[in-house]
Amino acid sequence: MTSSRLPRGGRVERSKSVRFTFDGKAYSGHPGDTLASALLASGITLFGRSFKYHRPRGVFAAGSDEPNALVTVLSGDVREPNVRATELEIHDGLVTQSQNRFPSLDHDFMAINQLAGPLFSAGFYYKTFMGPAIGPLRGTRFWMFCEKFIRRAAGLGKAGTAPDPDRYERMNAWCDVLVVGSGPAGLIAAEAAAGTGARVIIAEERPLPGGSLLASAETIDGRDPSVWAREKAAALAAMPNVRFLTRTSVWGYYDGNVLTAIEHVSDFKPNRTKGQPRQRHWIIRTGKTILATGAFERPMVFPGNDCPGVMLADAVRRFALEYGVAAGSNVTLFTNNDSAYEAARALSLAGVNIVAIVDVRADVSGACRDIATAANAELLTGHAVTGTHAGKTLSSITVQHFNAETCRVSGAPREIRTDCLGVSGGWSPAIHLASQAGGKPEWDEDLQAFLPPEPNQNWVVTGAAAGYMDTISVLSDAATKGSAKSRLILPPVEAPMLDASPAPVFQIEPSAKSQKAFVDFQHDVTADDVRLAYREGFHSVEHLKRYTTLGMATDQGKTSNVPGLAIMADARGISIPEAGTTRFRPPFTPVSFGALAGERYGDLRPHRLTPMHDWHLANGAKMYEAGLWHRPMIYGSHGETVEQAYVREARAVRQSVGIVDVSTLGKIDIQGPDAAELLDRVYTNMFSTLPVGKARYGLMLREDGLAFDDGTTWRLGETQFLMTTTTANAGPVMQHLEYYLDCIWPELRVHLTSVTDVWAGTAVAGPKARALLEACVTGTKVDNDTLPFMGIVHSKIEGVPVMVCRLSFSGELAYEVYCGSGYGTRVWEALLTAGKPFDVMPYGLEALGTLRIEKGHVTGAEIDGRASAHDLHLDWMLSKKKPFIGSAMLGREGLKDENRLSLVGLVSLDNQAITGGSHIVTDARPREPADSFGHVTAACYSPALGKYIALALVKHGTSMIGNRAFATDLLRGRHCPVEIVSHHMYDPEGSRMHG
C-alpha cells in the first residue's frame, strides 16, 4: 500500500463516510471525495488498462485533463463509460468498473499486446489492413474481417444498450458578461464586472469555487486562499445581478458570442429529487465573455512515464491539499520549472514526505533551494529521470545527469526508491475556448506555451489562461479585464518568489533501447510514434494528429498537445511555432447525448387534424399520415381489406354520390389592387380575365421552368382571390409568393394571408351531387345556370354560411363546400343527412386517389420537381400572351429533349396489382432494371374500368401508347405485364363533370 489518507487536511467531510464499489469490491470515502481521491486514499493506484497495449495505468491528473483513469459508472442496466475518476464525485451506492481489461484489472490477457509493441506503432491500421490484392479477404475486406477482433482488444469503455432513464433539460440564458472559471482570475473579474451593475453569469467546472486556490499554500488577505475564494464566491452569488453555476463545464464557443455548457445538476447525488434533471444543457448568449480558464500542467516525456504512480506534480498537490490524500509515501518531483517547488512546499506543509526534486536545469534560484531544504528533499539539479521500475505501481526511478542545453543524458544511472513521481513540464494556458472561437494561438517563448489568440469576438482572456502565472499579477490583470472602470482594492498576497518560465525541455531520450515514452496516454501514442510519423512523411501537425491519433482521444490532448508538437518540431529541426498547432474543437469535455437532446426526443412533429377529425375516427376511418396531416385513408367495414374498402367507396362516387374531407388543401387569401397581376405572373395561365364569382385551375412553375404546384384559385371580388394549393405545398407556395412580393416585385400592392386552417372543406362528388346540395343549400339555387362549371355561390347549409364552388378532381359532377372551420363537422353531417336518399358514401384518400388515377389528374407524385408542364400534358395551360415565372426557361435544351419522361396510363395485363415505384422495362425476364425507361407514380384497382391500372412517367410516353411492357418491382417480387395507354383512362371527354 503506497497511497493513503493523510491524518489531517483536505476539504472532505471526515466525520461522514460514503460507500461505493469499484470492480465489485466495496470501498469507502468521505463526502467531497472524487472516485480518484477515495481510491488513492484506500491504497488503490491501478485504475485501468491502456488503449492499445493494455499497460497498467493509474491516476495522472486531478481534474478534467485526466487521460488515464477512466471508469464506467453502472446504474441498473445503464452504463456510462469513460467517466474521469478525477471528476466523478462519490456518493452512497455508486457502482464503478475499470475499463479495457479481461478478465480483470489485475490479470489482463491483452497485456500480451505490450510484447507486440512494434506492430502497433503509428499507422498500424493503414499498413496492416490494406489486405492482399487477391483472394476472399482482398483489400478492405481483410479489415472488415479483422475489425471485430481488434475492436474487442482495443479501446475505451463499452457503451450500454439500455435506454437512458434520466431526464435532461435545456436552458437558454443571456447575460452582459459570462465568466468562465472561478479561480482567482474569474472571481476578481466577476467582481469587477458585477460591480458595474452588469448581469453576470459565472460558470465553474468543479463543485467548489476557487480553482487553483483550492490547493494553494500561499495566503490571500492573510488567510488560506480557499477560504478567501469561498467567501468571495458567496458574496458574488448573493448579488442580484449574478448567477453562479458550479459543476458547470463550458464546452463550446460559437459565433455571435454563444457558449454552451453542461451543468451536473444531480448525477453526483445518491437520491435525486423527483423530476430533477440529471444534467442541464445551457445555451448562453453573452455580451462579453471573460475566459478565466486557468492553465493545465504539462507532463514530461521520458522512458516509462506512464506507469501508475507517475502523475502531474500539480495533481499530487491537489490530492494532498483538496482531499487530504498522499498519492505516495515517498514522493519525488521531476521538473523543468519552478512550479514544482511550490508544489513541494505545499506537500511538505501538508505532511507528505518528499524524497528528492529532480530538475533538468543546471541551477535553480535561492528560493527554490530554500524550499528543497525546508522540505528536507534531496535536490538533483542537472538531472533527469531516465526510467521507471514498476509492477502495478511505481517502486523506483532511474536518474542520470542531463544537460538542458543539449538535451543529452550522461553518467551512470542512479536508482531512487519512490512510490510516486510528480512531474512538471511547464504550464499550458487553457486556450481551448478561445481556439474554438476561431483565433490562431500565439507562441510565447518565455512560457514555452501557446497564448490565447487576438479576440475575434467580444471576449477577453485573463489570469493563467492569459499567461499570468503568479497570483499577484493574475489578480490585477483580472480586475482590469473584468471592467475597465474597476476600482477594486486587491487583497495582499503572500507567496514565494518563483519564476514561471520553464527550461525548453520536453523529452528525455537516453538511448534507443529505453522504455516506451508516452506522449498521448489515452491513445497510447509514444514519442517514437511521433518520430516515425515524421520519417514516413507526415510532417504537418494536421497529418501528425490523424496518422498517430495524437490528441484525438476523449481528453482532446489536454496533456499531450504541446509535448507532441515539440517532438515533431525537434524532428523537423524547426521551432514549435513554426510547426504550428491544431485548432481545438468543441466539446472541451465529453458531453452526453441525453443532455444535448434535452426534452426533445420521441415524436416531436406537430399533428395537424382537420375539423372533422373526430367524426372520421368515430365512423371507422383508418387514418393516414400525409406529412403532418392525419387524413382518412378508408372508412373500413368489418372484414374488409383496404382494397375492398376503397373500391366500394370509389364505386359509390361514380354511381351515386360521395363526400370527402379536403380541409387539408393549402389556402391563401390574396388581396390588393394588384392581386390579379400577381397571379398572372405566378401562374402559367391568365387570371386577370377571370370574372368575379368564378374559379380557374392554375399551374405554377419554378423559375427553372419545371412544374411546381397546381390548384384552383377563386375570384371572390375584384381585388380578392382565394388560392388553393396541394396539401404538401401549402407552405412552400406561400414562401414562394412572399419571396417574389418582397424581393422581386415590391411595387405590387398585394397582401397574403395563409387561411388553410380557417376554412373546412368538403368535396361532394357523383351524379347525385347536385341533388344532394339542392336538399340542403338554402338561399340560392345550385342548378347549372346559377352554378355552372367553375362557378361560385355564397349560401347557407343549416344556417352556416358556406361558399360552394363547382369543380371536380374525381371527374364527376362535383362541388367543394367551404365553411368556417368551427362548423366543419356540422356542415359535413348536414351533407350526409341530405345525401341519405342517395346512399351518400364518405370516402378517404385511397378512393380519392383511385378516382384521380382513372382520370389521369396529376398530384405531387407526378409533379415531382423533375417534370415539366409538357411532360404532364399541361402545356395547354402555358399562356403565350404574357411572361410568367418559369416562362423564360421553357425553351432550354433540357426541357425540349425528346427523351424526357412523360405521363401515360398503364393497364395490368395479368389482372393483378401494379406496384407503385415499379420500373418500366421491355424485358420479359425479371432482372435488375438497367434498361428502365420509366416508373410507376401511382397505382390502384379501378372499379370503373374493372382493371388494375396505374399512372407512369415513361420515355417517349405518348408515342408508346398501345405498346406492351413490364412494370418490374424486384423488391416486392412483382414483374407485371402492362399495356401503355393514354393517361385519360376514364371518361376522356369529361362529359360526366359537365353534366
User: 840 — alpha (psi -120 to 50), left (phi > 0) or beta?
Assistant: beta
Identify the residue whose cell numbers are 513521481.
421
**Under rule CB under 8 A, residue 275 binds other proteins:** no
Among 718, 747, 897, 989, binds other proteins (CB under 8 A): 747
- CA 977 to CA 924: how far, in whole Å? 8
Question: Measured from the CB atom, is 176 or 643 closer to other proteins?
Answer: 176
Question: Is position 598 an interface residue for other proteins (rule: CB under 8 A)?
Answer: no
If one asks whether residue 681 binds other proteins (CB under 8 A), the answer comes out as yes
In this structure, what C-alpha cell is assigned to residue 240? Answer: 442580484
Is the CB of 214 or the CB of 734 nearer to other proteins?
Answer: 734
Per-residue buried b or exposed e for 606-627, using 16+ beta carbons within 10 Å of the residue's own CB = eebbbbbbebbeeeebbbeeee
Angle at 221 between CA 217 and CA 227, to 5 degrees: 60
Q: Which of 256/537 has CB closer to other proteins?
A: 256
Nearest distance in Å: CB 167, other proteins: 23
* Contact code string over 455-484 relative to other proteins, x by CB under 8 A: -x----------------------------
Q: Which is nearer to other proteins, 738 or 928 (CB)?
A: 738
Nearest-CA neighbor of 585 among 84, 294, 251? 251
Considering only the stretches 48-56, 184-192, 356-364, 731-739, report the one whose residues sit in contact with other proteins under the rule CB under 8 A.
731-739
Cell numbers found for residue 83: 467517466
Site for other proteins in 181-200 (CB under 8 A): none
Residue 448 has φ and ψ, to the nearest 5°, of 55, 50
- Which one of residues 643, 703, 757, 864 is an interface residue with other proteins (CB under 8 A)? 703
Contact call for residue 889 and other proteins (CB under 8 A): yes
Q: Dihedrals φ, ψ of 368, to 5°? A: -65, -45
CB nearer to other proteins: give 258 or 803. Answer: 258
Geometric angle at alpha carbon 795, from 793 and 797, rounded to 5°: 130
Residue 249 · residue 588 · CB < 8 Å: yes
With 0-12 / 13-18 / 19 or more C-beta atoms within 10 angstroms meaning exposed / middle / buried, residue 89 is: buried
Pick from 512, 604, 743, 971 the residue near other proteins by CB under 8 A. Answer: 743
Q: How far is the CB of 744 from other proteins (least distance, A)?
A: 5
14 vs 882, which CB is nearer to other proteins? 882
Q: Are 769 and 814 in contact (CB under 8 A)?
A: yes
Q: What is the DSSP string of 447-497?
A: TTEEEPPPPSSSEEE-GGGGT--SHHHHHHHHHHHH-TT--PPPPPEE---
By CB under 8 A, tell whether 883 contacts other proteins.
yes
Which residue stretch of 555-563, 769-777, 885-893, 934-942 sits at the interface with other proteins (rule: CB under 8 A)?
885-893
Choose, by CB under 8 A, the member of 739, 911, 972, 990 that binds other proteins.
Answer: 739
Choosing from 31, 438, 453, 504, the residue that interacts with other proteins (CB under 8 A) is: 438
Q: Answer yes or no whether residue 597 interacts with other proteins by CB under 8 A.
A: no
Q: Choose, by CB under 8 A, the member of 892, 896, 927, 964 that binds other proteins.
A: 892
Contacts 24+ apart (CB under 8 A), 893-899: 895/705, 895/706, 895/868, 895/870, 898/956, 899/955, 899/956
Does 735 bind other proteins (CB under 8 A)? Our answer is yes
**Residues 594, 597, 598, 603: what is their CA dihedral angle, to the nearest 10 degrees?**
-120
Examine residue 973 and tell whether it contacts other proteins (CB under 8 A). no
Helix, strand or coil, per DSSP, at residue 953: strand
- 136 forms part of the interface with other proteins (CB under 8 A): no
The reply to whether 686 sits near other proteins by the rule CB under 8 A is no
Q: Quote the Cα angle for 682-872-644, to 5°.
A: 115
Is 746 a binder of other proteins (CB under 8 A)?
A: yes
Is 606 one of the binding residues for other proteins (CB under 8 A)? no
List 103, 118, 240, 256, residue binding other proteins (CB under 8 A): 256
Query: Is omega for the bond preceding 103 within 30 degrees of 0, making it cis?
Result: yes
Q: Which of residues 621-660 bind other proteins (CB under 8 A)?
A: none
Smallest separation (angstroms) from other proteins to the CB of 746: 4
Task: Write down the residue that cell numbers 521551432 correspond to.
Answer: 575
Q: Which one of the spans 86-94, 474-482, 711-719, 743-751 is the region binding other proteins (CB under 8 A)?
A: 743-751
State whether residue 257 is helix, strand or coil.
helix
Query: Which three cell numbers mark 595?
Result: 443532455
Task: Please report how close the Cβ of residue 887 comes to other proteins at its closest, in angstroms.
Answer: 8
* Smallest distance from other proteins to CB 784, Å: 39
C-alpha grid cell, residue 676 = 390579379
Distance CA 806, CA 694 (A): 9
Per CB under 8 A, the segment of 244-252, 799-807, 853-861, 888-896 that binds other proteins is 888-896
Residue 257 region by backbone torsions, left for phi larger than 0, else alpha for psi between -120 and 50, else beta: left
Minimum distance, C-beta of residue 759 to other proteins, in the bound complex (Å) = 20
Minimum distance, C-beta of residue 703 to other proteins, in the bound complex (Å): 5
For other proteins, which is the closer residue by CB, 412 or 743?
743
Three state DSSP letters for 176-240: EEEEECCCHHHHHHHHHHHHCCCCEEEECCCCCCCHHHHHCCCEECCECHHHHHHHHHHHHHCCC
* Residue number, 741 or 792, with CB nearest to other proteins: 741
Grid coordinates of 550? 495524437
Residue of 130, 744, 758, 924 interacting with other proteins (CB under 8 A): 744
* By the rule CB under 8 A, 255 interacts with other proteins: yes
Residue 184 φ/ψ, nearest 5 degrees: -55, -40
Q: Residues in contact with other proteins, total (CB under 8 A)?
A: 24
The contact pattern for other proteins, residues 281-300, with x = CB under 8 A and - = no contact, is ----x---------------
Cell representation of residue 625: 399520415
The answer to whether 596 contacts other proteins (rule: CB under 8 A) is no
Shortest spacing between CB 869 and other proteins, in angstroms: 17
Give min distance, CB of 460 to other proteins, in A.
Answer: 18
Residue closer to other proteins, measured from CB, 703 or 987: 703
- DSSP for residue 744: I
User: Which span sits near other proteins by CB under 8 A: 180-188, 494-502, 846-854, 880-888?
Assistant: 880-888
Q: Comparing C-alpha atoms, which of 351, 366, 296, 298 is closest to residue 321? A: 351
Cβ–Cβ under 8 Å, residues 328 and 419: yes
Is residue 829 helix, strand or coil? helix
* Binding piece for other proteins, criterion CB under 8 A, among 252-260, 518-526, 687-695, 929-937: 252-260
Convert residues 396-435 into a mask of x (bound to other proteins by CB under 8 A) and - (unbound). ----------------------------------------
Task: Output the smallest distance, CB 725 to other proteins, in A.
Answer: 17
Closest to other proteins by CB, 718 or 897: 897
Q: Which residues of 733-742 are buried (b: 16+ CB within 10 A; e: fewer)?
A: bbebbeebbe
Residue that is written with C-alpha cell 352554378 in the block? 787
Q: Which stretch binds other proteins (CB under 8 A): 158-166, 219-227, 253-261, 614-622?
A: 253-261
- Rounded to whole angstroms, the Cα distance separating 23 from 133 reads 45
Query: Counting contacts by CB under 8 A, is residue 103 touching other proteins?
Result: no
Any contact of residue 738 with other proteins (CB under 8 A)? yes
> Can you tell me which of 112, 888, 924, 970 binds other proteins, judged by CB under 8 A?
888
Positive or negative torsion for Cα 4, 7, 12, 13 = positive
300 φ, ψ to 5°?
-100, 150
Selected range binding other proteins among 313-321, 401-409, 733-741, 819-827, rule: CB under 8 A:
733-741
* Binding residues vs other proteins (CB under 8 A): 255-256, 258, 285, 438, 456, 681, 703-704, 735, 738-739, 741-744, 746-747, 883, 887-889, 891-892
